[in-house]
Every structure is written in structure tokens, then in C-alpha cells.
Structure 1
Amino acid sequence: MSGLNQTVLSLLGAEVAGARPLHGGDLSEVQLLSLNDGRRVVAKTGPLVAAEAAMLRAIRAAGVPAPEVLGVAGHVLLMEALEETAAGPAGWQALGGALRQLHSVTSPQYGWAEDYAFGAVAIPNAPLQDWPAFWAGRRLLAAPDALPRDLRLRIEALCKRLPDLLPAAPPAALLHGDLWTGNVLFSGAGAYLIDPACYHGHGEVDLAMLHLFGTPPAAFHDSYGALEPGYDERRRIYQLWPALVHLRLFGAGYRGMVEARLEALGV
């Protein structure tokens, strides 16, 4: 009996009758499993699945749709299987409302109970109460030696300006942390958040990530609600972090994404 089959049997009391791969993140394996009792579940395999399970539970506890965690053991996370549909206006409206609800859950400080990672890119989450300091030290300059020297010097210059560019103490909202459209599962029941990298921070971080590879339609914005003045400039600052992650994970093809935001910010 395979390791995955044994894990499913021990957690759910049924054996795997069939499996097919699902589109998932670049950094983990995701499969749709058919069980011999007729159920279908999603299995995700990776080193940080226990942390992801805790994040999914936190999202659901906030009253926001996310897959139900059915069990976790070792490097295997088992979740409910959801029917995916195309993203229409109703789905985008549901996502806007879900994200506003997620961001209404706040913490006394920025960060998370444990660190996380995107593959080889570590995500330090040790709590701080100063938001510009968190964004500089835990995100943009979390691993300065991993950056090309010229980019590092420009980012260091930007980080010195962050106390003037970012609010000192915005509400420490519960964030998805990696919110692009590939991490939203639209379905007939609404919009589910998947593949989270949760922590508490400025809610605009999720919005900036959602705009990195496209523009959500008006239905999303109408449902999420109004943004504070200065959002457009802060968005460039917040998009720097996922741009740097892509540069480190996938190479120089993403350097232009980093440079475009630095240039727009005048560094």
C-alpha cells in the first residue's frame, strides 16, 4: 500500500480508488482522489501542509469560504473537493465581499504565529507592531543577500522612506498573503480562497497582489468597498514583495517587474 493510500486510510477510513493531478501551485503536488466509498477529496503534498491547514482553518473561522480541512498527517493535507466554475460577475462580487470579511478580522500586531515559505524563499513572520518596519524587515529586505546588489541598494533606499510612504499602524487585518486569481476557486457557491500564506498586515497587501497579473472587474471593487487615498502608490510598494519572490524563484525574467515598480517609486 502506497504512503498516500495509507495516510488516506488512516485519516478518512477509505482507500484510494483513483487519482488525477490538479492544477496547483508551482511548489507542491495536488491531486483529486476518488475513494472506494464514493467520496472525492483533494490531496496536497508538501513540507508545510500543517501550516497551510492552520491557515485554511483561520480563514474559515473568519466566516470566509475556504476548503474544509479533512485531515493532515506528515506531508499530506486532505481537503474537500470543490466544483470549479468560470469567474463571472457574481463570483467576483462574492470574492470582494469575502475579502472584506477576511480583512475585518484583526490582530494586535503584524505577523503570524510561525514562519512560512514559498519553496526556497523563506517568509519570516515574527510579530511587530510597526507596519513599515515589518514590511521592510520581514518582506522587502528579509533576505538582502539573495538579491542582486544593484536592486538591493535601491530597495534599501526605498525602505528608509517607508515610514513616510506607509501608514504606521493600519489595522492588522487577516491576509490571504498570496492572493492572485490562481489562488481563488470560483464555484456556484461563490469564491473560495485556496493556497494561503496567511499573516496579519495591511489589507491593501492582498489587493495589490490581486492586481499584479490583471485587473479585477468592477463587481469585485464595488463589493469590496472604497479604498483610502494614496492606495495607488502604496500598491507599487506592496507589489514589490511578490515581484521579488518571482525573481528569486523563477529567475531574471521577472527583473523587469521589480524594476518597473522601483522606477515608479523614484528609486
Structure 2
Amino acid sequence: MAFPVHRKARRDAPAGFFACEAAGLRWLADAGGARVVEVLDVGEDHLDLVRLRPVTPDREAAHAFGAALARTHDAGAEAFGAPPDGWEGDGWFGPLAAPSVMRAGRYGSWGAFLADCRVAPVATAMRDAALTTADDDAAFDRLVAQLHTGRWDDGDAPARLHGDLWTGNVVWTADGATLVDPAAHGGHRETDLAMLALFGLPHLGDVLAGYQEVHPLHRGWQHRVGLHQLHPVAVHALLFGGGYVAQTRRLLHDLVG
């Protein structure tokens, strides 16, 4: 049976870019939780996927998506920072036209992974782009140190994350919500949920209700949303400047005081 095809293509894509994305999609699909767009073909300059037909979401679909996403996360990962099965090394995060390197690693604690592979690299990039003040740089340093102390570690096992789960990467279809464009890796489940909140996923309350029925979140998760949003907002600051720089600064200083 022939499927309608959606092709993502970029002639000058970083080596392995599309293979990494294909591995992430397959790894997420193997979890047996949330639906994931099907990979049809992959090459150095393209990725062919089954074309999806969007529909308007409703609360029932949102609730079902939350429960399915919890099952995806519960499928787990080898370690915090581990790449998806079928891929070794760093991945990428952000838009196809300007993806940023997303460092991989194999960490036993989430805080150390977040410090070394997300916060420290983006802090350096923002400083090099002259987007930070001396106070900001010092705050980034304090945050990295606090993460290494385990301040926010909670004993949760590494989750199987989509990794770039903003609302545009959730396609609502007649069969339910379907995931596209991942930056898949082993991480903390709250990271995907914080990304869903960042740009306003429809019926987010129903998604969270469905999620918590399958896997209740640790107490105080609402107060950690900013910590999980810091890296993606900082990447947006690097790409687009403007209000994202101020938003990054607010998130950062709220975390370290």
C-alpha cells in the first residue's frame, strides 16, 4: 500500500542529521506509547515520513495523549543523556534551517547531565554571542554548580524523551496525537511536559490529567517548569534574540535567586 509522503530535506544538513532523527522516531515508536510518525526512508539529505492529516483536537484526545506519553516516558533509557537506539554521539535541537548541537552523554544523575550537556553549553554560546551580562554569567555558573550538587534530583529513572516537544511537534490526527521532529534522548520526564507548556498546547490540562493517571509526577513539579524551560528558551534567544533573551534572564535569575 502506498502512503502519502512528507519529505524533509536539506542539502547541507550536518552529517547524520536525518539518520539521528529517524533513529529517534523509531526509538519512540518502540515504546508502544504515544503515536509516532512512520519513517519511510532516510538519506544524508532527506527524511521521508508518512504525511499526516491534521484535525482539531478535543479533550478526549488530549487525555489519551497524556496517558500514552507517560507510557513512552516509562519505556526508559539507558542513562540521562543517552542517545536513541541506533544512533551514537551528539544529536541536534531546533529548526531544520539552523539546528544546534545537542550533547549526548551517559550520566547517572539528571542534574549533572543537565549542567554539563545543556546549561553550560548554552551559557557559553550566549556569552560568546554577547547576549549576557556579567551577572547573567555568574548566575549560570551558580546554576551549574547547584545542579551538580543534586539539588533537583529526585531519584526518577531516565525517561524516554521526545526532547523537543513543543506544540508544533504534536500533530493531532483522527487516530490521536502523533509525535514528529524529535530530539530524542534519555532525560527527565518533566522536560517534555514543560515544553508542552512553553508555547501553549491545546487542552494541556487534560493531557496532564491523563499523564498523571498513568504516572503521577513528583510533588512540586509545577515549581520546576522554569528549570526545564531554560535551555529551550535560551536556544530561542540565540536564534531569534528579542524577548527570548529577557525571558531567559528571568528564568535564570528566578532559579538561583
**Fold-level similarity (TM above 0.5):** yes
Q: How does 1:23-38 map to 2 (within 5 A)?
A: none
Q: Distance in 2 between matches of 1:203 and 1:144?
A: 23
2:22 corresponds to which of 53, 69, 72: 53
Q: Is the 8 A contact 1:121 1:248 kept in 2?
A: no
Structure 1 outlier segments of 4+, above 4 Å: none
Q: Is the 8 A contact 2:196 2:204 kept in 1?
A: no
Q: 1:138-197 CA distances to partner (integer Å, 9 max, x unpaired)? A: 001124431234223211112222235311642101000011110000011011011100
Are positions 1:125 and 2:115 aligned together?
A: no
- Shift of residue 218 of structure 1? 2.7
Q: Distance in 2 between matches of 1:123 and 1:86?
A: 32
- State the AA in 2 paired with 1:51: C
Q: 1:205-259 CA distances to partner (integer Å, 9 max, x unpaired)? A: 1111111122643321210003211212321111101111101111133112112
Look at both structures and tell me which one has the larger radius of gyration over its CA atoms. Answer: 1
Q: Distance in 1 between matches of 2:38 and 2:253?
A: 42
Are positions 1:210 and 2:187 aligned together?
A: no
Q: Which structure 1 residue ranges, 5 or more long, are not aligned?
A: 1-36
- State the AA in 2 paired with 1:115: D
Q: Distance in 2 between matches of 1:259 and 1:116?
A: 26
Are positions 1:114 and 2:89 aligned together?
A: yes
Q: How does 1:188-199 map to 2 (within 5 A)?
A: 188-199=174-185
Q: Distance in 2 between matches of 1:123 and 1:252?
A: 23
The percentage of aligned residue pairs carrying the same residue is 32
2:35 corresponds to which of 65, 72, 76: 65
Q: Whose relative contact order is higher, 1 or 2, with alpha carbons under 8 Å and at least 6 apart?
A: 2
Q: How does 1:213-252 map to 2 (within 5 A)?
A: 213-214=199-200, 216-225=203-212, 226-252=216-242
Q: Comparing both structures, which one devotes a greater share of its residues to strand?
A: 1
Q: Distance in 1 between matches of 2:210 and 2:29?
A: 19
Q: How does 1:74-223 map to 2 (within 5 A)?
A: 74-111=44-81, 112=83, 113-117=88-92, 118=94, 119-148=98-127, 149-150=132-133, 151-162=136-147, 163-167=149-153, 169-214=155-200, 216-223=203-210
What TM-score results when the alignment is normalised by the length of structure 2?
0.83
- State the AA in 2 paired with 1:108: E
- State the AA in 2 paired with 1:138: C
State the superposition RMSD in angstroms: 1.9
Alignment coverage as a number of residue pairs: 231
What TM-score results when the alignment is normalised by the length of structure 1?
0.80
